[in-house]
Amino acid sequence: MRNAITTSLFDLLKVGPGPSSSHTIAPMKAGFDFMQRLRALPKAQKALATTLEVRLFGSLAATGEGHGTRLAILAGLLGNLPDACRPDALSQTAAHQEACQLDCGEGITLPCSTKNIIFDAVQHNFEHSNTMIFRLLQGQVVLLEQMYFSVGGGFLRWPGWQEPSLGQPAYAYNTMASLKKQLAATGLPLHSLMQANEMALHGLSSQAITQKLDHLITVMEQSVLLGLKTKGLLPGFIGLQRKAAVMYAQAKQEQFQGAGFLKAINAYALAASEENAAGHCVVTAPTCGSAGVLPAVICMLKYHMGAEQQDLRDGLLAAAAIGFLCKHNASISGAEVGCQGEVGVTSAMAAAMLAYARGCPLQIAENAAEIALEHHLGLTCDPVGGFVQIPCIERNAMGAVKAYNAYLIASTLDASYQRVDFDKAVAAMAQTGHDMSHKYKETSEAGLAQSMAEC
Ligand code: SF4
């Protein structure tokens, strides 16, 4: 099959600092990568360098300040990588952001601060909206230049970037229809097919996949537990109060019954999203901005619905299939298609996970994902002040509740009632996202970001 999905589960779902995978994880990787290129220069050449400059474009320029992009780049330049850095790496970098020394290798250092990282044009003609240009300079003379694109979900690309050579998927697919054909032909359950593809494409053993899945589940659960314990204000000028702990206390008081059950879902999603907004480590699921929904569902399944660890692993593999299809055929970037690509996609992933982990047939999981995605279509991305706080945090809670409701609708009704299939919902998301004004795609130029600014 041409154009089969080859993304790794562990590229889609990965650990890194919030608050925005496009704005923190990929930029941190870019900073790290540029330093590798710089260090590889001949000593005589890098010794000439007087400064390093980074220019940010698109939504990185529009909302990079609130998203901590400069800190993430600086942390990357200083040698941090998202999946290996301390949970509070951005706060650590902020403490000495005015006077850092970059290690250029061979005993050469270069002073650098967040002032070297410049917010440039929001509108531009580069091939991707979130563009970064790194330059090593001797005065005005460019010694080394590299352009990078943050393409959503923490993925980093650059001109001439080529997909690393991979194995062939054991079972190629690129739509839900072709995935279902493979499942029907092989008789495999979805989670086994996903695992077989991960092994074939990326050479991981089944034991390694299990360990990595468990690590993701642990980090997601920890982000909820930490968020439930923490009170106070989130960083930034908005002065936004954390709400998860209060919501959870009420849910507990109501013994998680009736509205207390819904309050628990909300509290779990708020907790992980608040941790993300604080710049702490979360799992991109599929992005940082949407990092609260899958953890909420994991906690619901584990604490309130009797799910075992294997159910969670299998459910996560089903969720990943949904995320892959959205990424492959539309986008998971708020900067490209608005929030339908972030909270909409994660809500669809979570709905499928709920259904699959609860033992529903695949058709019910697909229907749940379709319902969740369909009812996020057209959702704008308009973060107030560029912070991943309003509307993002509550939007995750709404996405988690919608995922649960989509699962209820899909699992209660006969699957044959469903008239819209998942591929059609993804196509509608791609078209809607394409038609949306750029103002509603993570620029903070419209929507709530605008009306709040005018208050
Ligand atoms: S509004 Fe949605 S897409 Fe935009 S930053 Fe917030 S969570 Fe991400």
> Could you tell me the distance, in angstroms and rounded to a whole number, from the CA of residue 210 to the centre of ligand 1?
30
Choose the residue to mutate in 392, 393, 396 for probing ligand 1, maximizing ligand atoms within 8 Å of C-beta: 392
What was the pLDDT predicted at 83?
Answer: 84
Domain boundaries, the chain: 16-157, 176-454
For ligand 1, whether the C-beta of 342 sits within 6 Å is yes
Closest atom of ligand 1 to CA, residue 380:
1
Token output for 37: 């290129």
Q: Which pLDDT does position 224 carry in this prediction?
A: 96
Q: Select from 3.30.70.260, 3.40.50.1100, 3.40.47.10, 3.30.1330.90 the CATH code of 16-157.
A: 3.30.1330.90
**Ligand 1 mean position, distance from CA 237 (Å):** 18
> 388 CB under 6 A from ligand 1?
yes
Chunked mean pLDDT (size 10), the chain, 455 residues = 89 90 92 98 97 96 86 95 82 87 97 96 91 97 98 88 87 98 98 98 95 95 94 93 98 98 98 94 92 98 98 98 97 93 98 98 98 98 90 98 98 93 98 96 86 69
Ligand 1 atom, smallest distance to 341 CA: 3
Q: What is the pLDDT of residue 253?
A: 98
How much is the pTM?
0.86
Closest ligand 1 atom, residue 382 Cα: 1
Q: What is the pLDDT of residue 451?
A: 86
Ligand 1 centroid–CA 54 distance in Å is: 24
pLDDT of residue 454: 53
Q: How far is the CA of 390 from the centre of ligand 1 (A)?
A: 9
